[in-house]
């Protein structure tokens, strides 16, 4: 689930998604939903006519027994203060 949360954060939501499920096993599932303009950094993928009947992301996750909620949490970050070219040997 941590891998799934990380992928959702990077590829779909463009924000950090923290896995609080406590699930450590491997799971095989299909998640199908109709994306909106808050996902994929505003660049919506082409929506096929068959996908118009699919639920939104939150409803699709609920069908899997998962919940996505906005909250504040501490996350690890890497901050680069400066960059310099290496000196020749």
The residue among 31, 24, 28 whose CA lies nearest residue 8 is 31
How sure is the predictor about 49, in pLDDT bands with cuts at 50, 70 and 90?
Answer: low
Global model pTM greater than 0.85: no
CB 12 within 8 A of CB 57: yes
The residue among 50, 56, 12, 53 whose CA lies nearest residue 33 is 56
* CA 74 to the chain's CA centroid: 17
Q: What is the mean predicted confidence (pLDDT) over 66-82?
A: 89
How sure is the predictor about 45, in pLDDT bands with cuts at 50, 70 and 90?
Answer: low
């Amino acid at each position: 689930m941590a891998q799934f949360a990380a992928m959702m954060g990077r590829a779909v939501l463009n924000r950090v998604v923290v896995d609080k499920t406590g699930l450590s096993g491997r799971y095989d599932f299909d998640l199908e939903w109709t994306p909106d303009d808050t996902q994929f950094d505003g660049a919506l993928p082409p929506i096929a006519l068959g996908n118009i009947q699919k639920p939104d992301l939150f409803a699709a996750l609920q069908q899997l027994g998962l919940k996505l909620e906005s909250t504040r949490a501490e996350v690890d970050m890497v901050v680069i203060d400066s960059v310099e070219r290496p000196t020749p040997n």
